[in-house]
Every structure is written in C-alpha cells, then in structure tokens.
Amino acid sequence: MKRRLLFGYSLTLMTILSVSLGAQDRARNAGKLVDAYVRAEGGARRLAQQRTVEFQGTVTDAESRATGSFKMIIERPSRLYREFSIGSQKVREAYNGKSAWREDASGLRTLTGAAGSELETEAHFRNQRFVGYKKDGERVQWLGDATVRGHAAQEVEVITPTNIRRQVYFDTPSHLIVEEAVPHGKDESATERVFYDDYRSIDGIAEPFRIEYQQDGHDWTITITRVSHNPAIPETAFAFPTSSNRPLPDIADLLKAVDSNQKAIEKLVEQYTCDKTEEEFELDSHGNVKSKGVKEYNVFYLGGDEVDRLVKKDGHPLDAAAEQKEDEHIQKAIKDYEKRKVRNQERASRGEEPKKDRDDVQVSDFLRMDRFTNPRREAFHGHDVIVFDFEPNPSYKPASMVESLIHELTGAVWIDEQAKDVARLEAYLSGNFKVGGGLLASLKKGSAFTFEQSKINEEVWMPSYLEAHVNAKLLLLKGLEGNFVQRYSNYQKFHVDSVTKPAPLKAN
C-alpha cells in the first residue's frame, strides 16, 4: 500500500512538473520567435521611435471586384483610425485612447462590449509591434508548427491582460508576421483573419504592402501605395465625428446637474428590490479558467447604496448557519443606515452639510480629477444620451486612496440628459495602482470594468450589468487575474412602511 501511495504521489508530481515545464518551454519558444520578429522588423529601438504611422492604398472586394481607397493611421500608445471606401460602401472606425467608434451601413456609434474591446486591443497591438509586450502584461505561448498559404510558419498565441487572444503566425524563413487570427463578435464564434505579404523596407522598418482582411463574409485585398513614418496627425483624426446639429450641453454643467439630482434618484431607487447573480472566475498564467463560482442575491437599497443578501451558492440554498450570518449582515446594514440618517438630520438642524466619508467621491470631485473630451449624442437602449470620454487630469493631486484609484481611470460615460443619470460607464486603469505602497496589493495597468443600467418603469436607471477584469498582485506573493460578472433582474417596486422591512410589500 505504501509503495502504491508513493508511486501515486510520484506520478502526480511528475505530471505537475511536466505540465509546468511544458508551459515554460512554450513561453520561452514564443519569446524567441517574438524577439526574432522584432529584429526582422528593424529592431526594438527603431520601432519604438515610430510615434505615428500612416498607410494609404487601394482596396478591392474579392466578390464584386469593385475597388476603392484604404487608409489607416496608428499613433502611440494606442490610437488607431481605419477607413475602407468602395463605391457607396464606406466603413470608418477608430480607437482614440479612451473609447472606440464605428461608422458603417448601420450608422455612427460608440462601440461597446466585445466590439469596443476588440478595436482597443487591435489599436494597442498595431502600435506596440511586440516592443515592451511583457511590461504591458501580455503573455505569449508557442502553439506549434503551421503552414500559411503553402509556407512554413510558427503559430504563437498572444493573450492580453483582459484575456483577449490573438493567434499570430510568423514566417519561418523571414520571421515576419504572415497571418493573424482573432475571434470576434458577441460570442467569439466568428474569426477575423488578416494576411500580410510583400514586405518592403521603409526607413529601415519592414512594412507589408499587401494586406488581406477576411471577416463576416467579406474578403478585401489592400494594396499599400504609401507608408509615412511620424507624419503630423491632427487630434481630430481619431475624434468621434459630429453626428447631430443639436447643440451639446456643457459637460461640467451636465455633471453638476447629475450631482444635484442624486437625492431624487436615491429616493426612487429605494422603492425597488431585485435579484442579482454574480459569476466569478480566476485565470491561470495561460488564460485558462482555474476556479469558478456563482452566487445569487436578493438586493435592496438604503440611502442609494446597494445591500445584498446572499441566498444561493452554486445553485444550492444556504444552510442554517449561513442564513443566520446573512440575517446579521442585513440588520447591521440597516442599523448603520439609521445611525447615519440620525447624524445627518442633527447636522442639518444645525445648518451643517452631511458629513462626508473620506473615501466618498462626488461628481464634483470627478470634475476636478478628470478631463472630458469628445461629447456626442447617441441612442442607448432606445434613449437619447450624451456620451463623452474622460482621462486623468494631470494637475489634480488625489487626497485619498479612492481618489487615487479613480484618478488613474480612463474611459467613456453615457448620461441620460433628461433623467440626469448615468446609463453606462466603461473604464480601465491607465497606469499601475498600488495599495499600501505596493505591500498590500498592486492593480496592474489594463484592469478594467463596465457598468451598465436599464431604465425601469421609465422613471429611474437601475443597475443591469457589471463586468470587471482584475490583474493584481497581492501581498507581494501571488498574482491574481480574474473576471467577475454581475447581472441584475426581476426589479419589483414596493412601498416602504419602515426601513426595517427590506422585502417588497406591495408590487405594482
């Protein structure tokens, strides 16, 4: 028995070591291929000196044989503009460093979800050219030998910090990229393929003069006629195009109106309960799922804050001890709320403002911490909204940890101008963020989240979706990478007789 156990432990250990060493070998092989590609392109130093690159050429539709014009501009660190124009068919798209947009037969719009993430990732990839990819938290692994259109190649998978994957094929003799394959679409069931050929040296850098795009049934061949390194590119090249003759409100005034409307919003929010499902998972160093769990909650609101009561874990109801713990949690939340309410009433009677928690951030703080650009009118879930981009204000000095975190965020926000409320927010960390000087935790650049609301009963915007991707290091020991998704549903409106009765009393 002891021998069998010893043999079993040895076999398990050998398997773990084999998998681990195999992963390390794949990473090493991929790293060597990437290094060879950078040298073949012209070298890291020369590539890093290219602040902007502009490609111009002609595009031919493989099916109709119609021809037109093509233009692409990339600007470090992560801006991209691309335009296809064939007859009456015209596609323009861009990522401006904070948000993505596209104009095609479906109209002009800000890209959200997978489409926005894909264009953002591509913009970074095209500018980076594998220079400094490790510093940006990207992982590469060798997948094996391949053949691309009859030529020997090596396949490498690139995984971004937000777990977007791209297959890159390096030509074996030249080490240059000959193909890319990127899953795209809502369920990633489709694949965009890009082929490169006819490389020529421009300013000592190898640039492809023939590019073929295959996506969504389209097959477009691009013949590049001109490549310009470091041309002067106007800021407007990446900006969201003007789409409406209606005047836009001043962003500062709009946000102040949202701030002033918060008390009215809180009163409406407190009349609702809902269900929430939270799904979370961690990813290993290769982007594979390590663990997964689903929790279900009943939700109500106090003072505008969400209060969650856990009711199920992985589909199973809580046991008696866990139920008791949740009861205590709810009662504590109610008592804390009642104490705050009494304190604020006392301060109001003395003509004082409600005491602000050190880590509470108001819209007025947001105005000081960030800069706002690209305001535009769009439709969101059938409602007219104002969308604008935001980025850190370099002159603002954060006064707390929460302010410091918010100050590092870059992204876009959607605001219902009539309701004076936020409909959607997309943000990502533009730099690394350290907690406790990095001793406790460090959130890595690229960690991102999306918050979305739906208008309920045509009176108030309520949370509907939250997705976060975290790339962190905890206590100097462990790297943590994972996602969680929260979905809200089954909103019920009720009348509150007492704050101690959080369950719906009367559904409308």
Q: What is the set of domains in the chain, with CATH numbers?
A: 26-237 (2.50.20.10), 251-493 (no CATH)
Q: In angstroms, what CA-CA distances link 53 with 79, 96, 142, 465?
A: 11, 15, 29, 38
What is the Cα–Cα distance from 380 to 342, expressed in whole angstroms? 39
pLDDT number for residue 17:
37
pLDDT in tens, 464-496: 998 887 765 555 445 555 678 899 999 998 754
Is residue 507's pLDDT more than 50? no
What is the Cα–Cα distance from 92 to 108, expressed in whole angstroms? 9
Between the ranges 176-185, 197-206, 234-243, 434-443, where is the mean pLDDT highest?
197-206
Between β-strands 79-86 and 89-95, what pairing exists: parallel, antiparallel or unpaired?
Answer: antiparallel
pTM here is 0.75
pLDDT number for residue 408:
84
Within 8 A by CB and 6+ apart from 282, the residues are 289, 290, 291, 480, 481, 482
What is the Cα–Cα distance from 193 to 168, expressed in whole angstroms? 10
Residue with tokens 């946000």: 255
Out of 197-201, 204-208, 222-226, 432-436, least confident range: 432-436
Is residue 289's pLDDT more than 90? no
Within 8 A by CB and 6+ apart from 160, the residues are 121, 124, 137, 138, 166, 446
Q: Which of 506, 503, 505, 508 is nearest to 301 (CA)?
A: 503
Task: Look at phi and psi of residue 413 and say left if phi exceeds 0, alpha if psi is from -120 to 50, else beta.
Answer: beta
What is the Cα–Cα distance from 135 to 446, expressed in whole angstroms? 11
What is the Cα–Cα distance from 462 to 273, expressed in whole angstroms? 10
pLDDT number for residue 405:
80
Contact 200, 210 (CB under 8 A): no
Sign of CA dihedral 21, 26, 31, 33: positive
Between β-strands 409-416 and 370-380, what pairing exists: parallel, antiparallel or unpaired?
Answer: unpaired
pLDDT number for residue 499:
46
Burial of 22 (0-12, 13-18, 19+ CB in 10 A): exposed
pLDDT number for residue 290:
67
pLDDT in tens, 296-330: 999 999 887 889 999 999 999 999 999 999 999 99
Mean pLDDT of 174-178: 96
pLDDT number for residue 188:
56
- Residue 156's H or E segment, with its range, is strand 151-159
Q: Supply the mean pLDDT for the chain.
A: 83
Mean pLDDT of 494-500: 52
pLDDT number for residue 133:
87
What is the Cα–Cα distance from 84 to 62, expressed in whole angstroms? 14
- Position 80 confidence tier, pLDDT thresholds 50, 70, 90: very high
Mean pLDDT of 395-420: 86
pLDDT number for residue 246:
81
pLDDT in tens, 417-465: 999 999 999 988 877 766 655 545 567 777 788 889 999 998 999 999 9
